Amino acid sequence: MKTIFQKWFRKNKTRIERRLNKRTGGSPARPVLSDHTLHYEVADPTRAITCGGIGLIHQLVGRTGLVGDIDPSVRVLKTHLPYHESDHVLTLAYNALCGGTGLQDIDRLRNDAAVLDALGAARIPDPTTAGDFGRRFREKDVRALLDAFDRTPRRVWAEQPDPFFDLAVIDADGTIVETGGRSKQGQDITYDGRWGYHPLIVSRANTGEVLSLVNRPGNRPSHEGAAGELTRAATLCREAGFRKVLFRGDTDVSQTECLDGWNAIANLRFVFGYDAKPNLVARAEERPAAEWQRLTRPARYAVATATRQKPADVRDGIVRDREYETLRLQSEDVAEFAYRPTACDREYRMVVVRKTIERTKGQLVLFDETRYFLPHERAGVDARGDRLLGQRPVPPGGI
């Protein structure tokens, strides 16, 4: 950076610090936020850009070598006149990063000279060309693109310090993507009556980066294809040098037929949800009282200054006055026992959380009820290194 720019930045920083630290005596006669006239000026030599970070993202793409991974792997176009496969893929990605919600929004970018200059391109594909490129894709092309994406993070990970490779936490879950188009292929009705898709997302929880994304119709179950994508992600992380891999998922991803195979892999652990079925609830109720321990959850954040008095709960007062039934959590206890799923040849450690819930109506306490959840949270603090099979708790309303 030039010296003159450094002086400008230091001067501006000093000016704003003085302005913020300025104190006035007594009570000011006028509000701090005053009404004043604002002047706008237009300068010809200056061109503004609404998505200022796109240039930095494009530089990052070039530095990681993603373009060199896409073009040799993905062969969709017979000739390049003039766009390559990487041009189309990056255009679609940049459109989403810049707030685009459909192919038609690409036209906004390609007509912005500042955006084109930031990308170092004379032009980018128009919406029609981008749509034609997308329709040429088949399943093998999507897999080739995912394989190309896998090579890029491995180069980035190789530059990280050694503690980075201690543990790779891999999450798998489905999400609903609604669509308003009536002609989009592959869409279907979701469980809540919407039209759209139900893609499976496998990500590395340590950094939030997506390792795999598989699109599916909206009516497909959440766990469909999860086992194969988890195994693929684990292979990627182990080949990259991670010493331990941990799978996590909710009840929909508990693939019991795959647990024994994953258990045989060294340094691979899994923490999955499991439905609170009647036989498991019965096993939990049979636990002796001595096996239950009070569960104390850590605070969401540490108070940096002094603890402030909690304000009155306005909503709670309205609920009480109108005598609505309310569920309030009173306590949580945790226990564990061994359990062998039907599709497995060995037992796994099952952790169960017992929630004592108070049911009230207005000022009256109706009764207390007990609910059992089999959560996966304790796996992160499990010192024995056992495999854990549990269910992520889904608290009832108001708890």
**Pick from 271, 305, 325: which residue ends a domain?**
271
Contact status, residue 352 vs residue 374, Cβ threshold 8 Å: yes
Q: Is residue 140 part of a domain?
A: no
**Pick from 115, 135, 155: which residue ends a domain?**
135
Q: What is the pLDDT of residue 117?
A: 83
Same-domain check for residues 124 and 200: no
Same-domain check for residues 117 and 171: no
Q: Is residue 302 part of a domain?
A: no
CA dist., res. 220 & res. 174, Å (int): 10
Q: What is the pLDDT of residue 7?
A: 85
Same-domain check for residues 264 and 284: no
Tell me the pLDDT tens digit for each residue of 314-329: 988 888 888 888 888 8
Tell me the pLDDT tens digit for each residue of 213-261: 899 999 998 888 899 999 999 999 999 999 999 999 887 777 788 888 9
Q: What is the pLDDT of residue 256?
A: 84
**Pick from 99, 119, 135: which residue ends a domain?**
135
Instruction: Count structural domains, the chain.
Output: 3
Helix (H, G, I), strand (E, B) or coil at 158: coil
Cis bond upstream, residue 82 (ω within 30): yes
pLDDT per 10-residue tile (average), the chain, 399 residues: 81 76 61 55 68 86 88 88 88 92 88 84 88 89 90 91 94 90 88 92 92 91 89 93 92 82 89 86 90 88 84 88 88 90 87 90 82 56 35 33
Q: Is residue 222 part of a domain?
A: yes
- Residue showing tokens 């994406």: 149
* CATH at residue 169: 3.30.420
Q: What is the pLDDT of residue 376?
A: 39
Q: Is residue 385 part of a domain?
A: yes
Helix (H, G, I), strand (E, B) or coil at 240: helix
In this prediction the pTM is 0.75
Domain holding 337, by residue range, is 278-296+313-389
